[in-house]
Amino acid sequence: MSQALVSLTIDGVEVTVPVGTKIVDAAKQAGIEIPVFCYHPKLESVGMCRQCLVEIGRPKIDRSTRKIVRDKNGDPVIEFGPKLETSCTTPVGEGWVVLVNSERAIEGRRQVIELILTSHPLDCPICDKGGECPLQNMTMAHGPGKSRFLYEDKMHLAKHVPLGDLIFLDRERCIQCARCIRFQTEIVDDPVIAFSERGRKLEIVTLSEPGFASYFSGNTTDICPVGALTTADFRFGARPWELNATASICPHCAVGCNTMLNTRREARSQGRVVIKRVMPRQNEAVNEIWLCDKGRFAHHFASSEERLARPVIKLKRRGRLTATTWENAVKFVVEGLQAAHGAVLGIAGGRASNEDLYALHRLMDGLGGRAVLHDQMAGGEFVQQAGVGPGTNLADLGSGDCILVVASDLHEEAPIWWLRVKQAAERGAKLIVANARPTRLDAHATHILRYDYGVAAHMILGMLHEINHQKELDQYASAETKKVAKVVSKANNVVVFYGSEGLDYAASHDLAQNCATLLAASGHVGRANNGLVAVWTHSNTQGAWDMGVHPEPGGLAAALKGQKAAYVVAADPAGDEPLLTSLLEQVDFLIVQGLFLTETALAADVVLPAQSFVERDGTYTNGMRRVQRFFPAIAPNEGMRADWEILSAVAAAMGIDSARPSAAAVMQDIAAKNRDYSEVNYPALSRNASQWPHVGGKDIYFGGTAHPNHQGLGVQLTPRVERQKDISFDWAAPRKIAHKPRYLMVPITKLYDRGTTVVQSQVLGPRLEILRLYVNPEDAERLGMIDEGEVEVQWDGRKQRLRSVIDEHVPSGAVLVPRSLGVPLATAVDVKIRPIAL
């Protein structure tokens, strides 16, 4: 689409930009920096701080002829107004002459700083922002040396106001730019902070319960142009200039946000190098310049004291674990695997990197066994075929496009996708949200579809019917599916996010297949901004599928049948499902590789300490099939090895393969073997492109403290339909639901669960979910339950007592229980519920 352009000169530089561009952005693009405080390229302009004042000259227009007046050389006569103007609110005009660094403009901005400083404490030496503070820098660059205002008139305000559990406010430092408030309102639609009072008394307040508890709160500390907002994690933790920065990828969900790990070696950590904070790293196609609070604040697990540090072996079953050398351990592993004669099963978790998964697959293959993924969501092969094409960026979706989110609560499962989908809807994209219960995304949906738990795939078939008119699909169609199917088929671009809420392996398989078929039938596959995205529960689940490691349709219990040895990597099946413990104990030889002494590790014959993602390099493939690289930020304890390294050493010792020297080398093997990854290699993953808005330059005031991306944007894989024109898609008839269970207990995902990686956060503690059973009011009445009462839930011969909460959002006939909080439930089950009398 061609856009009308406007040309003007800014400080003598000729600039041509699209109509509507603000002067401040036009200048930035031309490399001329205009100081700003309240303006932020991701937010609407408000013109509140006046820091961006410039002189603007406009061509003089003859009022009678409405023509531009020209001088004797034929050049337009330029007229400057009497006042300075805010460049952040003024869109460019043809032929304008803007002066940023004229004497008058500089003086104007100097006075604004003087005014801002009338009540600023200038306590930079004890301020967390000192060293990366726009106000500090600007005062140095543009501020007056002396103030004409009275020192005694400075306001003295509270300096340690907790706005919530994670963010602290220093009222004296706030310069009232409202970036934080506007972020919460415009970008994340969670207006839990706001201004109160006026003038010099203006202050940020929250009156919400429980305060500033937005999932995105940490971002406000990045864009706050002063040290008024600090995080519970980093405040008074270190000075910015002491920190090293290492590029990484958030390991917590399938979005794969790009991060920067800020580390330092410090006495208070016994001279170790530790992570001081996690910062966003710009990747406009993935996380822009944002992170959710889980990604920012759940990093402490990596430096936990409880990490395994040496290999341990158990000589006799149920004997004691004894520490040993790596040499011995590998020998022991080799013997154990040999004794199994091919009856071996590899079990991996979706947190393992591509290199680890490939190495596990290779080893199992060489032994005549196989590797499976410990997960219950299916459909990875459909994402390989019909995933979103290279160049996909949710920011490009808007009017004329459509996004369908089915069986997922994006706000809890993949917060940054939630945010970006919401913004696409605000730009005019049609948003269809289909789930058995209301979720936070509903507020932004143009169409909401409800279905009973379990029949998500059926509903997609109803939509497909409207497109292919197959008779067999009649039964699934309804007025609603008809309506939304029209929206899908008319849209220019369609992205479908599917999750697995309430669905088991088979049901999520059907859902993925039918979504892919719908996309293909409506012509929305094989190009950028179209295709299928899986909302996986882990950061590299898609990578696992790509490496040939998928869940066993019948579950791990089935896969373990007849196995003599099992090799578990980055997973804790026994912790997740106690019933698996005895099955794992029944194999003759159990090897567990991981960070912690998990339930599974306790049952093992050998436990091998693995390096965490902060100590090594590797790659993850996110839900949009973007392969991204993370780098070692911290030197590992010498007793720990990278997962791929251990697996490769074992494979070498068993004569299966030669040992690989580096993760990069493993990636070369992957590229050689896997057509989808043929273009992927470490240098390619490290390639950059210039991104807008520019962040992280010396004009830190512009974008905030998000880091620029010098370490690579990753590579988005090409879906197979784009390459193989012969791929065809067919729908799957979903299994009939035999009966409507009395009560279906459905595990739902909450962002702050109590999984190992979250529970160790030093600051998220008060925000963690509490285990409760959510019940619909009518069901509660029928059952004779009270709010906050106790109930006993029975299923599969198991019993558990739970606190119950009555919640009108729960569909009738279902009860919801958040995952990873103590109820080992992989997928929805029939339950019996009995209230416990007090």
Partner 1 sequence: MLADKHKSEIKAILKKYPAKEKRSAVMPLLFLAQREYGHITPAALVEVAELLELDPTEVGSLIGFYTLLHDEAAGKYRIQICTDLPCALRGAEELAKRLCANLGIRLGGTMTNGLITVEEVMCLAGCDKAPTLQVQDADGIHYHENQTLGSAMELIAELMEKGSDG
Taking residues 207 to 236 in sequence order and writing x for each that binds partner 1 by CB under 8 A, - otherwise, the string is: xxx---------------------------
CB of 205 to partner 1, least distance (A): 6
How many Cα neighbours within 13 Å face the side chain of 108?
A: 23
Task: By CB under 6 A, name the one of 139, 230, 287, 522 that touches ligand SF4.
Answer: 287
- What is the rounded CA–CA span in Å between residue 563 and residue 336? 12
Q: Which stretch binds ligand SF4 (CB under 6 A): 117-125, 174-182, 517-525, 796-804?
A: 174-182
Q: Does 188 bind ligand FES (CB under 6 A)?
A: no
Question: Which listed option, partner 1, ligand FES, ligand SF4, none, makes contact with residue 415 (CB within 5 to 8 Å by class)?
Answer: ligand SF4
Distance CA 674, CA 479 (A): 44
Q: Please give the helix or strand (H or E) that residue 258 lies within, else none.
A: strand 258-266
Tokens standing for residue 401: 């496009």
Q: Which residue lies nearer to ligand FES by CB, 29 or 662?
A: 29
Q: Are strands 344-348 and 565-569 parallel, antiparallel or unpaired?
A: parallel
- 798 contacts 822 by C-beta, under 8 angstroms: no
Beta carbon nearer to ligand SF4, 414 or 488 = 414
CB of 624 to ligand SF4, least distance (A): 12
The listed partner (ligand FES, partner 1, ligand SF4, none) that binds 167, CB under 5 to 8 Å by sort, is none
The mark string for 193-212 relative to partner 1 (x by CB under 8 A, - otherwise) is xxxxxx------xxxxx---
Q: Does 149 bind partner 1 (CB under 8 A)?
A: no
CB of 187 to partner 1, least distance (A): 15
**How many binding residues for ligand SF4 (CB under 6 A)?**
27
Q: How far is CA 395 from CA 42, 203, 223, in A?
A: 12, 33, 20
The yes or no reply on residue 21 touching ligand FES (CB under 6 A) is no
Binding span for ligand SF4 by CB under 6 A among 81-89, 245-253, 363-371, 671-679 = 245-253
Exposed / middle / buried, residue 772 (Cβ in 10 Å: 0-12, 13-18, 19+): middle
Q: Which of 52, 97, 224, 758 binds ligand SF4 (CB under 6 A)?
A: 224
Site string for ligand SF4, 564-603 (x = CB under 6 A): ----------------------------------------
Nearer to ligand SF4, 176 or 217 (CB): 176
Binding of residue 468 to partner 1 (CB under 8 A): no
Tokens standing for residue 155: 């306001």
What are 28's two structure tokens? 């930035």
Q: Which is nearer to partner 1, 100 or 205 (CB)?
A: 205
Among 295, 390, 714, 818, binds ligand SF4 (CB under 6 A): 295
- Residue 180, interface with ligand FES (CB under 6 A)? no
Q: How far is the CB of 407 from partner 1 (least distance, A)?
A: 27
Q: How far is CA 147 from CA 139, 175, 502, 778, 823, in A?
A: 12, 17, 63, 67, 62
User: Concatenated DSSP letters for 799-838?
Assistant: EEEEEEEE-TTSPTTEEEEETTSS---SS-EEEEEEEPP-
Q: What is the DSSP string of 582-649?
A: HHHHHSSEEEEEESS--HHHHT-SEEEEBPPTTSS-EEEE-TT-EEEEE---SPPPTT-B-HHHHHHH
Alpha helices in 704-826 (DSSP H): 720-723, 756-759, 777-783
Residue located via tokens 């106000």: 135
Residue among 49 and 455 whose Cβ is closer to ligand FES: 49
* Structure tokens, 88: 């952040």
CB 384 within 8 A of CB 545: yes
Nearest residue to 317 (alpha-carbon basis) of 560, 650, 590: 590
Q: Long-range contacts of range 684-689, CB-CB < 8 Å, 24 or more positions apart?
A: 684/715, 685/619, 685/627, 685/628, 685/629, 685/712, 685/714, 685/715, 686/629, 686/711, 686/712, 687/712, 687/713, 687/715, 688/712, 688/713, 689/713
* Contact set for ligand FES, span 31-90 (CB under 6 A): 36-39, 47-52, 86, 88
The one-letter amino acid at 469: H
CB under 5 to 8 A by kind: which of partner 1, ligand SF4, ligand FES, none does 51 bind?
ligand FES
Query: Is 204 among the residues that bind ligand SF4 (CB under 6 A)?
Result: yes
Which CB, 108 or 295, lies closer to ligand FES? 108
Q: Which residue, chain included where needed, has tokens 């061509």?
A: 59
Class of residue 769 by CB neighbours under 10 A (exposed 0-12, middle 13-18, buried 19+): middle
The angle that helices 479-490 and 456-468 make with each other, rounded to 10 degrees, is 60
Beta carbon nearer to ligand FES, 52 or 308: 52
Instruction: Rule CB under 8 A: choose which of 47, 93, 130, 191 binds partner 1.
Output: 191
Tokens encoding 130: 């000192």
Contact pick of 32, 127, 372, 416 for ligand SF4 (by CB under 6 A): 416
Position 192 contacts ligand SF4 (CB under 6 A): no
Q: How far is the CB of 207 from partner 1 (least distance, A)?
A: 4
Per the DSSP assignment, residues forming a β-bridge with 59 are 78
* Contact call for residue 692 and partner 1 (CB under 8 A): no
Q: Of 138 and 229, which has the nearer Cβ to ligand SF4?
A: 229
- Considering only 107-115, 292-300, 365-373, 613-621, which stretch makes contact with ligand SF4 by CB under 6 A? 292-300
**Residues binding partner 1 (CB under 8 A):** 190-198, 205-209
**Residues binding ligand SF4 (CB under 6 A):** 174-180, 204, 224-226, 228-229, 250, 252-253, 255-257, 287, 291-292, 294-295, 414-416
